[in-house]
Chain A
Amino acid sequence: GESVGLHLPTLSVQEGDNSIINCAYSNSASDYFIWYKQESGKGPQFIIDIRSNMDKRQGQRVTVLLNKTVKHLSLQIAATQPGDSAVYFCAETDSWGKLQFGAGTQVVVTP
């Protein structure tokens, strides 16, 4: 039969505010997590990663938090800008580096 299209959750954020994007992962054995950003017409772009032995990692304007107890990952973007408008994916990987992606979150930055 015809597959149902994924309805991406949308996060609408005002320019200058902080954004928080959440992701639930499935495999408790996953050891490495990555956030990717995908702009329209482009491939996913690496943002930040974190290993399972950490619970927080900071980059430039971005912070990733990992809660292994509830298998939850979040990406925080500080002072969101129009260029941050994109679809954000979390991905988990096993030891072979095969990425398993979440469904994605559409971030829309409004002026």
Chain B
Amino acid sequence: KAGVTQTPRYLIKTRGQQVTLSCSPISGHRSVSWYQQTPGQGLQFLFEYFSETQRNKGNFPGRFSGRQFSNSRSEMNVSTLELGDSALYLCASSFTGTRLTDTQYFGPGTRLTVL
């Protein structure tokens, strides 16, 4: 079974631009969560989607948004990029995201650099 895939793997943008990242979950998984990983803040939860609805949200500004499609694929968007948005963005999928033992499996991440 194929794992979680994320595209692109690397991105370089300049301040003020916007960016869209894509995540394809493991087949059969309907919950997709996004995380930001930086040396300064570690791994932080952005948001979680299930059945095309945002079900949970972390403490990030409104510039960070996402969506999920009917095939469970998800995208996240960051508008008006700032230098501090440079990070590894990780996507994780699970079957439902609600049961305590519903393990989240991570993709390899998208490395975003903002210049």
Q: Are A and B a genuine interacting pair, yes or no?
A: yes
B42 and A32 contact, CB distance less than 8 A? no
Give the segment of A62-70, A76-84, A89-97 that binds chain B.
A89-97
> Which residues between 19 and 44 of chain A lie within 8 Å of chain B, taking CB atoms?
31-32, 34, 36, 41-44
CB contact under 8 A between A43 and B42, given known A97-B98, A98-B33? no
Query: B39 an interface residue at 8 Å Cβ cutoff?
Result: yes
Q: How large is the interface on B (under 10, 10 to 19, 20 to 34, 35 or more residues)?
A: 20 to 34
CB contact under 8 A between A32 and B108, given known A6-B42, A97-B94? no
Give the distance in Å from the alpha carbon of A100 to the alpha carbon of B58 in the complex: 10
A32 and B101 contact, CB distance less than 8 A? yes
Q: Which chain B residue has the least Cβ–Cβ distance from A52?
A: B100
Query: B45 an interface residue at 8 Å Cβ cutoff?
Result: yes
> Which residues between 61 and 89 of chain B lie within 8 Å of chain A, taking CB atoms?
84
- Which of these, A3, A49, A89, A95, contacts B41 with CB under 8 Å? A3
Query: A5 an interface residue at 8 Å Cβ cutoff?
Result: yes
B97 to chain A, nearest CB (A): 4
B54 to chain A, nearest CB (A): 12
- Which of these, A4, A36, A44, A101, contacts B40 with CB under 8 Å? A4
Query: B109 an interface residue at 8 Å Cβ cutoff?
Result: yes
B45 and A98 contact, CB distance less than 8 A? yes
Residues of B within 8 A of A46 (CB): 103-105
- Which of these, B33, B35, B105, B108, contacts A42 with CB under 8 Å? B108
B101 and A44 contact, CB distance less than 8 A? no
B42 and A103 contact, CB distance less than 8 A? yes
> Which residues between 39 and 66 of chain B lie within 8 Å of chain A, taking CB atoms?
39-45, 48, 55-56, 58
Give the distance in Å from the alpha carbon of A49 to the alpha carbon of B102 in the complex: 10
> Which residues between 18 and 46 of chain B lie within 8 Å of chain A, taking CB atoms?
31, 33, 35, 38-45
What residues of chain A have their CB less than 8 Å away from a CB belonging to chain B? 3-6, 31-32, 34, 36, 41-46, 49, 51, 89, 93, 95-104
Q: Ordered nearest first, which 5 A-B pairs have the shortest CB separation?
A: A43-B106, A3-B40, A101-B43, A32-B100, A97-B97
Q: Provide 10 A-B residue pairs closer than 8 Å at the C-beta atoms, listed in order of the A residue.
A: A3-B84, A43-B92, A43-B109, A93-B100, A97-B98, A97-B99, A98-B45, A99-B43, A99-B104, A104-B42
